[in-house]
Chains A and B, each alone.
Chain A
Amino acid sequence: MNDSIYVSVSTEVLNIQNAYDFVSDPTHGAVDVFVGAVRNHHEGQSVQGITYDVHEGLAEKTFQEICLETQNLWEGIKIYMSHYKGQLDIGGISVIVAVSSAHRAESFEACRYIIEELKKRAPVWKQEHYEQGSSEWLSGHSLQSQATQISERLLEGDKVTAKERAGGCCGGGQGGCGCAG
C-alpha cells in the first residue's frame, strides 16, 4: 500500500472524518466522499438491517487493485476505501470511498468509478433482514470473468475507455473541453 491509498475491511463503525483526513492534501482543492448507508426498503419490502459478509483477504486485495487502476486513470489522486463487515441497522454506514484531487472533476469521476468497480468486483455479500423476520442474500455480479477483465484493464489503451465508462470528459475540471468542469 502506498501513502496515497488506504484500503480496509472493518468490523468497527466506519468514520467519515478518518476518510477525509487521509485524503486531505495541501495540493488538492477537491475532496469527494461517497458514503453507502443501509436504507429501510428494497423492492417493496421493509428492511430492518443488513449483514455484510466479506472475504477479507481477497476484498482488500481487490480494493487495492481498484485503487491502483484508478490512480492510473486519474493521476495524482489520493484514495480512501473502507467496507464494513458485520450487521448494520438502518442508516448504518456500509462503505466509504473518499478521493482528493487538484480539481473537482477528477475526484467526482474517480470516486464514482471506484464505487461502481467495488460493486462489480469485490467479494462482499449482503443479507437483508425484513420486518416479517425473514432474511435473504441478495443476488449480484458473477466473478466468473474477473480474471480476464483484470488482464484487459491493464492493456495499453484501455485508459480512455475506462474513463469514458466512468463518465469523464476533459478530466481536468478546468473547463478546457467545454464541460462544466
Chain B
Amino acid sequence: MSTITIHMKFFGGFRKFGESLDFSVPIGSTVVAIKATLQEKLNGDKLVLDSVLANDRNILRDSDILSSDTELSILPPVCGG
C-alpha cells in the first residue's frame, strides 16, 4: 500500500508532545482517518477529538482527502483574547 508522510505541527495543549510529529498514512486518507491515526500516536489523547486539522491557509473538513506528503497543524479549541 502506498503511503504519504504527514508532518503534523502542534499548538496549544498539544505542545506537551513537542513541536511536531511525522507519521505515515495510506495515500488517499481522509482527514478523519488522519486524526484517528494521530490519536493513536498520541496515546489516545482525547483532545484530538475536539480539534481540527488545517494547512497554512484553511481548516480542513473531515471528508477532505490527502494524496501527497503534507504539512498540517492540529488546532485544539481556541481561547484567544
Contacts and interface: CB of A to CB of B under 8 A. Distances in A.
Interface of A: 36, 52-55, 57-59, 61, 83, 94-95, 115, 118-127, 137-144, 146-147
B27 to A, nearest CB: 24
The CB with the most chain B CB atoms within 10 A, among A52, A53, A83, is that of A53
How many chain B residues sit at the interface, stated as a range, is 20 to 34
Contacts of A94: 80-81
Contacts of A61: 57
A171 B57 CA distance: 33
Nearest to A36: B81
B75 A123 contact: yes
A138 B58 CA distance: 23
Given A121-B78, A125-B79, A140-B79, A55 B73 contact: yes
Contact of B80 (A126, A127, A147): A126
Interface string B45-81: 0000011101011110100000000000101111111
A147 B52 CA distance: 11
A83 B80 contact: yes
B50 A55 contact: no
Contacts of B44: none
Contacts of B28: none
B23 to A, nearest CB: 20
Contacts of B50: 142, 144
Contact of B15 (A52, A53, A59): A53
A121 B73 CA distance: 15
Contacts of B76: 125, 137, 140
30 contacts: A36-B81, A55-B11, A55-B54, A58-B56, A58-B58, A94-B80, A95-B80, A119-B78, A119-B80, A119-B81, A120-B78, A122-B80, A123-B75, A124-B81, A125-B11, A125-B13, A125-B76, A126-B80, A137-B13, A137-B76, A139-B77, A140-B76, A140-B77, A141-B77, A141-B79, A143-B52, A143-B78, A146-B59, A147-B58, A147-B59
Contacts of B77: 139-143
A125 B78 contact: yes
A137 B12 contact: yes
A142 B79 contact: no
A143 B50 CA distance: 8
